[in-house]
């Protein structure tokens, strides 16, 4: 692999941090919908009440970027896997518009 940074890969995939945030929000919404379906609204109410969802939403795109940068730097994350994730974000972006 080329050893590109996450920011360089975002540029290559024509993704902005807003696109990352949208994709992460989309995944969170899917997770909440799944929880409602499988565990009921009380389980989701508990997540909201406890602040778990709020904590997850706070600066989620910046935390995602730092996490991916760190994992790439420590060779915990393969660039190919990150490219797969970014490809999914491209699809989310296309559905958004």
Q: Counting beta carbons within 10 angstroms of the beta carbon of residue 84, is it exposed (0 to 12), middle (13 to 18) or buried (19 or more)?
A: exposed
Question: pTM here?
Answer: 0.87
- DSSP state letter for 77: S
* Total residue length of the chain: 97
User: In a 3-state reduction of DSSP, which class is residue 40?
Assistant: coil
Whole-angstrom Cα distance, residue 51 to residue 66?
22
Least confident of 2-6, 15-19, 26-30, 61-65: 2-6
- DSSP state letter for 13: T
Confidence of residue 1 (pLDDT cuts 50, 70, 90): very low
Check: CB of residue 24 under 8 Å from CB of residue 61. yes
List the chain domain ranges. 6-96
């Amino acid at each position: 692999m080329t050893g590109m940074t996450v920011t360089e890969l975002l540029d290559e995939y024509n993704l902005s941090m807003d696109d990352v945030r949208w994709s992460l929000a989309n995944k969170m919404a899917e997770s909440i919908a799944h929880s409602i379906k499988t565990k009921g609204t009380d389980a989701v109410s508990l997540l909201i009440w406890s602040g778990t969802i709020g904590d997850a939403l706070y600066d989620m795109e910046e935390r995602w970027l730092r996490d991916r940068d760190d994992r790439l730097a420590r060779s915990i994350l393969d660039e190919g896997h990150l490219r797969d994730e970014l490809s999914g974000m491209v699809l989310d972006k296309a559905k958004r518009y």
